[in-house]
Amino acid sequence: MRRKLVAGNWKMHGSLEQNKALLDALVSGVTQSEMSECAVCVPFPYLCQAQMELVGSPIKWGAQDVHPLHQGAYTGEVSAKMLLDFGCQYVIVGHSERRTLYGESNELVAEKFAAAHASGLIPILCVGETLEQRENGVTEQIISKQLDAVLSLVGEHSLDNAVIAYEPVWAIGTGKTASPEQAQHVHLFIRQRLAERDAQLANKMRILYGGSVKAANAVELFGMPDIDGGLIGGASLIAEDFLAICRAAK
Ligand code: PGA
């Protein structure tokens, strides 16, 4: 039985004051559950705040990106070791905004994944196709390439402590959600693809859906057999919406 995960991706949003109100509301509203897990991935400067507010609560926290190397002359970058200093458990790698706006290749994403995994963080590996790719019928090819880059760098055994998030680019921040059937189709494809390497691993792998998940569509999405929770952008900034999505995962 896979434990569902609902992870918030705050992106470049928040302030000390806003975060305090949001985190307080999450901590007082969250109910602990054997069945599901809840986490927030916050901007780097607020990791310390997240740690202070969330330590001892059932809510986990993490970051939105990581550098492949431990340390060095890489101005502006943050290593996995630094994230661990702030109690992070999760880190998002390969979000489509990083891939498209900052030109992150499948190979770089794989290196980030490897560094996160080797340090003991749980990488949330984002994969997904653009609208054009979907319309051209190459969704599965694109996702295979994104997965294969990681598999060929780290091998399938390194996926044991990782999470995959399927995020169709056309559904991110657009209000257009993939239908539960569309999402399920791709989730099953991802699981089958992993099963070709290792059936046990494929069966254990948590595959989240992301892209305009809201309280109103979460129950239906999370009810699909291969959808193991969600990666939530916009709705993770509003406490009652995020809590409702967390409850939908139970
Ligand atoms: P959204 O973002 O929920 O605002 O569509 C999801 C994401 O980018 O992870």
Residue nearest to atom 7 of ligand 1 (CA): 233
Tokens of 112: 């980030």
Q: How far is the CA of 72 from the centre of ligand 1 (A)?
A: 32
pLDDT of residue 170: 94
Q: Each residue of 76-109: pLDDT tens digit?
A: 999 999 999 999 999 999 999 999 999 999 999 9
Kindly list the catalytic residues. Answer: 95, 167
How far is CA 209 from each of CA 55, 121, 154, 249, rounded to the nearest angstrom? 26, 20, 23, 12
Q: Please report where in the chains the tokens 């319309």 appear, as a residue.
A: 135
Ligand 1 atom, smallest distance to 126 CA: 9
Nearest residue to 41 via CA among 250, 210, 226, 244: 210
pLDDT of residue 214: 96
Listed as ranges, residues in the chain with pLDDT below 50 are: none
How far is 33 from 246, CA to CA, in rounded Å?
10
Q: Each residue of 165-195: pLDDT tens digit?
A: 999 999 998 888 899 999 999 999 999 999 9
CATH 3.20.20.70 fits 5-248, yes or no: yes
pLDDT of residue 1: 82
